[in-house]
Amino acid sequence: MDDDAAIAALAIRYFNGEDPNALDAVLSRRATVHASIGDELELVQLEEEGLPRLATVLRELRVAFPDVRFALGAVRVDADDVKLEWTARGTHRGPLLHVAATERPVELAGRARLQLAGGKVTDLWWDFDLYGALLQLGAIGAEPGVGEPRAVAVAKAAAAEVRAAILARHTAVDVLGPTVAFHGRVRVYLSQSFDDKTFAFVGAGRAGELFACLVELFDEVGELSLDDGISQGATTTFRGKLRARRRRDFYSYRFRMSLRAGASQVTEAWIEVTPPATVMEVIQ
Amino acid sequence: MSLVETLMPYSVEGFLAPDELDRVVQLMDAYKASVKATRLQAGATGFSIHKSTNKSVEEVVAAFEPAGRLEVNWGDIPREAIDIVETAFFRRIEDIRRAYPSAYGPYGFTYVEYGPDQYFTAHVDGVSTTQVAGFGVTLTSDFEGGEFCVETCGSGRLWADGPGGKPMVAPGADSQSAWYRALPRTTWTTTCERGKAIFYGSGLTHSSKPVRSGVLRKLLAFISSDRG
């Protein structure tokens, strides 16, 4: 192994925390370390906080991925310029920037560049593909039509609960309780009075008022069909038809419910009960 | 709903996939073939999606689409075509709510076609208690011109005191008003691309340039919301 490759191997030992002093002998006392876990380029002097700064960055990475292991990839040597690629695998068990632990396995791709003079490292650059990491953690905006599995499961369970509550004429649903940001609108067309009315409910905990509105308007909700839902990220939208009786008349309405959920509960919901496109479809 | 949302232009590229675009066009062609051509002209059914105080439908059409346009309103659009666009909307719901956080979903679908020299004049849809924005999906590519424009304007003359002290778009914010025509505005122009949805907040002035050749076909809808 030549000196440059040996330095690359030492760097990996250092990244892995196997030898905190691995780079001491090869780093110039005036070396500059450029390393950051965020987007901002950090320029710090070794004499002040150079290598300790890199140690801090690596420590932050180990908080996010306690079992992280670095492996050396391609090494390119051009005179006194050593460029190395590395990969690191770990499980996301602590915060990375603002992203809380997801328990997801992640593979990080990174690079380091060591500039040498007289056999000593004078500059060390270190970075990794943060975008790729956030993508694996589900912290980048979702693709069209792709839901976050746990959020979709929570939304589907909540939708079933809401449907059952409306059919049973309940006016409270636990899954849309006081902590859920709620927006809702009921727009009805009532044949007896040829009346077009809109009721709006906006604010956390107001879901019950929408359900109470339906109870007051209709003597019976005979049918509430819901599709399987369309998702993007944490939001799932269910569409269906609500068929209800008021006195001796039956009415048909469009029902739309979107639920934004975290890993365990709904955080935001918006429900619309509106007439179909044509009046003929309302009364049938 | 915040005022900022209603002033937001936005775009969702690839809103409809090629097979969905083909299907919507096929459905609209089948509908057009099933009715008299005169029924398809804007205003022919006694209805226009545009409104202007104290003006008849004919006057509104003359003001908003002076060279005419083909128009099919929501009651007549095949349900499957609406379902295709609704599905596309909800599979991009988080992308759309990034710009319009109070958005519920699409409603008030309208199909339009602009032939050579046809266009629509500058106007503001108006911020209502239930509408935050509108959008149009371009369905075809065999046309030239018809560029979509939004106009920004920093003048307070465009705004009036509304209910609860909230600002509302001043009455008559369209090309029929002398005060509106005289208002200096800045125009931002973009081409209409097949499959792309262009969104415009309901407080944002929008217009189009005339189609130069071919036929520009679009499906439009509003986005429901709450006053908040």
Answer whether residue A230 shows pLDDT above 90. yes
Question: Residue B69: pLDDT band by 50, 70, 90 thresholds?
Answer: very high
Question: Residue A279: pLDDT band by 50, 70, 90 thresholds?
Answer: low
* Chain A partners within 8 Å of B94 (Cβ): 141-142, 232-235
What's the pLDDT score for residue A160? 97
Say if A200 is an interface residue toward chain B (CB within 8 Å).
yes
**Same-fold call for A3-136 versus A149-282:** yes
Q: How far is B110 from chain A (nearest CA, A)?
A: 12
- DSSP letters, A237-270, are EEEEEEEEEETTEEEEEEEEEEEEE-SSSEEEEE
Answer whether residue A260 shows pLDDT above 90. yes
Say if B163 is an interface residue toward chain A (CB within 8 Å).
no
The reply to whether residue B105 touches residue A232, judged by beta carbons under 8 angstroms, is: no
What whole-number distance in Å separates Cα of residue A180 and Cα of residue A255?
19
Answer whether residue A2 shows pLDDT above 90. no
Under 8 Å between Cβ of A188 and A221? no
What whole-number distance in Å separates Cα of residue B24 and Cα of residue A248?
38
Name the A residues in 142-171 with CB < 8 Å from any B CB: 142, 144-145
In terms of CA atoms, which chain A residue is nearest residue B108?
A277
Answer whether residue B107 shows pLDDT above 70. yes
In chain B, what percentage of residues exceed pLDDT 90?
A: 64
Under 8 Å between Cβ of A123 and A34? yes
Domain boundaries, chain A: 3-136, 149-282
Where are the alpha helices (H) located in B40-195, listed in sequence order?
57-64, 79-91, 93-99, 178-182
Say if A43 is an interface residue toward chain B (CB within 8 Å).
no
| CA-closest candidate to residue B26, choices B220, B217, B222 | B217
What's the pLDDT score for residue A210? 93
The reply to whether residue A277 touches residue B129, judged by beta carbons under 8 angstroms, is: no
| CA-closest candidate to residue A6, choices A72, A68, A51, A98 | A72
**Of A194 and A255, more confident:** A255
Question: Residue A49: pLDDT band by 50, 70, 90 thresholds?
Answer: low
Question: Residue A41: pLDDT band by 50, 70, 90 thresholds?
Answer: very low
Q: What is the mean pLDDT of chain A?
A: 86
**Residue B162: burial class (beta carbons within 10 Å; 0-12, 13-18, 19+):** middle
Q: Which CATH number fits domain A149-282: 3.10.450.50, 3.40.228.10, 3.90.78.10, 3.20.10.10?
A: 3.10.450.50
Say whether domain A3-136 belongs to CATH 3.60.21.70.
Answer: no
**Of A77 and B104, more confident:** B104
* Chain B partners within 8 Å of A256 (Cβ): 104-105
Residue B72, classed as helix, strand or coil, is strand
Question: Residue A280: pLDDT band by 50, 70, 90 thresholds?
Answer: low
Question: Residue A105: pLDDT band by 50, 70, 90 thresholds?
Answer: very high
Residue A208, classed as helix, strand or coil, is helix
In terms of CA atoms, which chain A residue is nearest residue B73?
A277
Answer whether residue A212 shows pLDDT above 60. yes
Best mutation target among B10, B12, B20, B91 (most A Cβ atoms within 10 Å) is B91
What whole-number distance in Å separates Cα of residue A246 and Cα of residue A217?
7
pLDDT digits (tens, 9 = 90+) for B154-213: 898 888 888 777 788 888 888 888 998 899 999 999 999 999 999 999 999 999 999 999
Q: How far is B17 from chain A (nearest CA, A)?
A: 11
Which conformational region is residue B191 in: left (phi greater than 0), alpha (psi within -120 to 50 degrees), or beta? beta
The reply to whether residue A198 touches residue B90, judged by beta carbons under 8 angstroms, is: no
Q: What is the mean pLDDT of chain B?
A: 91
pLDDT digits (tens, 9 = 90+) for B70-89: 999 888 999 999 999 999 99
Taking residues A140-153, what's their average pLDDT? Answer: 94
What's the pLDDT score for residue A191? 64
The ipTM, to two decimals, is: 0.89
Name the A residues in 109-128 with CB < 8 Å from any B CB: none
Question: Residue B25: pLDDT band by 50, 70, 90 thresholds?
Answer: very high
Residues 6 or more apart whose Cβ sits within 8 Å of residue A188: A195, A196, A197, A199, A217, A251, A253, A273, A275
Answer whether residue A46 shows pLDDT above 70. no
With tokens 């509960």, the residue in question is: A265
What's the pLDDT score for residue B215? 98
Say if B226 is an interface residue toward chain A (CB within 8 Å).
yes
The reply to whether residue A144 touches residue B107, judged by beta carbons under 8 angstroms, is: no
Please give the interface size between A and B, counted as residue pairs whose CB atoms are below 8 Å apart: 63
Answer whether residue A44 shows pLDDT above 70. no
Domain boundaries, chain B: 3-224
Residue B10, classed as helix, strand or coil, is strand
The reply to whether residue A277 touches residue B97, judged by beta carbons under 8 angstroms, is: no
Fold of B3-224: Jelly Rolls (2.60.120)
What's the pLDDT score for residue A28? 75
